[in-house]
Amino acid sequence: MKTPLLQILALGCALAPFSLSAQNKVTETRDTLDKWVETRQIISEEKANWKIEQSILGDTIQLLSNELERLEKSLADLEASATAADEDRSQLAAEKEELSAAADVVEEHIGALETQLKRIIRSLPEPLIHKIKPLIRRLPDDPSDTKLSLGERVQNIVGILSQADKFNTTLTETSESREIAGGKVVEVRTLYWGLAMAYYVDASGEYAGIGYPGADGWEWPQIEGKGLEIKRLIDVYEGAEDIQFVEVPARIN
């Protein structure tokens, strides 16, 4: 009986090193597997993080590209605006030079125009003179010594001439007091044919005549025997008579 027991003990002692070795290999294998699993997890997490970062980087690149495109377009617009502004500035400078040259010409001759206009005003009809009297007052007594600006002086001249032109292209009727032969003063209706001439007649048709501009103002000679025709002419103009041909004398200087 002792012999088998010794044999088993001997076999156990012989197998002991093999058991320890196998156990060590299992432990090493388990550790290796744990590290591999851990490594795979790390790799998986890194891949997931990289995809997220890649998406963020893509969005960032697109955003920066759009912003760069916008800035480039803004810069191009600014350069175009600057070019257009330079062209406008050059054009305005050229126009300013032209206006300055024109203003010099006007300033050189405006005094003579004002003096000539004063002489013309004396030959204008009284209703027109009354209308433009505020402008006439603004004409300088001495064109070479006035505080009015060039623009104001030009406006006065243009205003007077435009009103005169308007009066000249229309018929104008007024009620006036007219002194006739013998110093008698009568109330008359006067019909101006522009700046060329006029007809006047009293209510009865007894006193009538024509008017025309002279060197020192309008002259109003009386015409005998034509009062009724002139009265009919003015009545037709007012609408009191039917439209008809009326034969009246005329005089145009």
Please report whether residue 67 resides in a domain.
no
pLDDT computed for residue 61 by the predictor = 73
Please report whether residue 89 resides in a domain.
no
* Strand partners for 144: none
The answer to whether 218 and 211 are in contact (CB under 8 A) is yes
Domain of 29, in residue numbers: 1-57
Residues 142, 183: one domain? no
Q: One digit per residue, pLDDT tens: the chain, 253 residues?
A: 445 655 555 555 555 555 556 666 667 777 777 777 777 777 776 667 666 766 776 767 777 778 778 877 887 887 777 777 777 788 888 877 777 777 787 788 888 999 999 999 989 999 999 999 999 999 998 888 888 988 899 999 999 999 999 999 999 999 999 988 778 899 999 999 999 999 999 999 999 999 999 888 899 999 999 999 999 999 999 998 898 998 988 876 6
Number of compact structural domains in the chain: 3
Residues 117, 157: one domain? yes
pLDDT computed for residue 2 by the predictor = 47
Burial 213-243 (b: 16+ CB within 10 A, else e): beeeebebeebeebbebbbbbbbebeeeeee
Please report whether residue 148 resides in a domain.
yes
